[in-house]
Structures are given as C-alpha cells and as structure tokens.
Amino acid sequence: MKQAQIYFAITLFAWSLQSAVAQVIPPGGSIYNPPPPPPPPPPKIEVPTIPRMDELPKRSYAPIAPQQSFDDRIGKCLDDAAAAGLGPAERTTYSRNCAVR
C-alpha cells in the first residue's frame, strides 16, 4: 500500500512538472508580449524582357499636352496675386515663386 502511494505521488509530481515546462518564459520575454508576427513573403522576382535586335522600338504617338509659355505663367500668377490683394513687392515675389512650379 505504501509503495502505491509513493508511486502515485511521484507520477503526480512528474505530471505537474511537464505542464510547468511548457510555460517557460524565454529570457527577455514577458507573459504579456504577443508572439512575433510571421515573416513577410519573399519578394517576387521577375525577369525583365530583353529587346530584340531585329525589332524597332515601340513608339507612343499619344499627343503631348501643350505647356504654357513662361510669359503666360507669369501673367497668370500676376493676375492671381492682384486678385488676392497683394502689393507690388509681394506680387513680384509671388509671381516668381508661382511661375517656376
């Protein structure tokens, strides 16, 4: 009878140690820290197309939007500055900064 109780106590003690081992916290860790996120997927590597020597390059014949001349941009900026009520010195500064944008 005594041996059965000792055997039962040892078995119970060993069983309780196994559950405690599963809860070991690594050094520098905390029980409140969530597990780290999974690593991102590897980048997709695509082989670029190599141009052929016997083909002409493809050209885009789409119309290019006409750009305003510098004189037109300065005039528009001066008009905007005058409409905002700026004085002559402020108009020059504003139009100079506005036209180069």
- Whose tokens are 């059965």? That residue is 4
> Tokens representing 61?
């014949």
For the cut 60, the answer to whether the pLDDT of residue 22 exceeds it is: no
* Reported pTM: 0.37
- Integer Cα distance of 99 and 41 in angstroms: 46
- Give 73-96 pLDDT, tens digit per residue: 999 999 999 999 999 999 999 998
